[in-house]
Amino acid sequence: MSKLDGTISLITGSARGIGRAMALRYAREGASVVVVDLQEAAAKAVAQEIQSLGGVADAFVADVGEPEQSTAMIKRVVERFGRLDVLVNNAGVIRVSPLLEVTPADWDFINHVNARGLFFAMQAGARQMMQQKPKADGRPRGKIINPAELQAIRIETVHHAQPAAVRQHLRQKRPLERFATAGEQNPANLRLGSALKNGLRCLAAR
C-alpha cells in the first residue's frame, strides 16, 4: 500500500514547477489529486497527465487571494470527492527588486497570493476538515502543509517576507487551537506543518 492511498489531496499552484512535481508524486503515492491554478489549460494538462498514468485527478481554477474563491475551491473538492485529507498551499508569486525599488503594487501583488491567499486557503481547508471524521482511528481529520523557503531565514527581498511569516506562525504553540470553540477538547485534530524548499529555480509570475 502506498503512503497516500485513498486520500484526497489538493495542491494549489500545481500547474507547473514544484507544484506540478508535488501533484505527480502525490498521485504516484496513491492520492486522488486536485490540481488548482490560475492557468486553466496548464492545470488540466497536469490532471490529464496523472490520469494517463492511472491516477485520479481533477483540475480547478481559483485565485486563492480571494477568500470566496478559496471557499468555493474547497466546496468543489468535497462535492467531487466527498472530503479533503491534505491541503498543500503551494501557490506563490515573485517579483525580485532591491529594497528601495519595491513599489506598493509589487508588495500587494506578492502578498495577495503569498500571504493573504495562503491564510484564507488554510482557513477554508481547516473549516472543512473540522467537519469531517478521521479516515481511521488515531489519524487526524486532515493535514495542511504550507511550503516555505530556506531563504525565509534571511529576508533578502519582499518575496521572502511571506515564507518568513509562515515560519513564524508555525513556531507558535499549537497554532490550530485558534480554530477551537468553547468547551471542546482537542477540537481541531488537524496537523499543520511547513515544508522548506531549498531555493529551487522554478517558473513564477513576474
Which CATH number fits the domain that encloses residue 20? Answer: 3.40.50.720
Residue 180 pLDDT: 45
Q: Is residue 206 part of a domain?
A: no
Q: Is residue 90 part of a domain?
A: yes
Q: Is residue 203 part of a domain?
A: no
Q: Is residue 1 part of a domain?
A: no
Residue 193 pLDDT: 65
Residue 185 pLDDT: 42
* pTM for the model: 0.80
Contact present, 15 and 39 (Cβ < 8 Å): yes
**Which whole-number Å values give the CA distances from 50 to 59, 72, 187, 199, in the listed order?**
11, 23, 35, 26
- Residues in Cβ contact with 104 at an 8 Å cutoff, skipping those fewer than 6 apart: none
Residue 139 pLDDT: 81
Task: Give residue 135's domain range.
Answer: 8-197
Q: Is residue 3 part of a domain?
A: no
Structural domains of the chain, count = 1
**Per-residue confidence of the chain (206 residues) as pLDDT tens digits?**
677 999 999 999 999 999 999 999 999 999 999 999 999 999 999 999 999 999 999 999 999 999 999 999 999 999 999 999 999 999 988 888 888 888 999 989 989 998 899 999 999 999 999 999 988 787 888 999 988 654 443 444 554 555 555 555 555 444 444 444 444 444 556 666 655 454 444 443 33
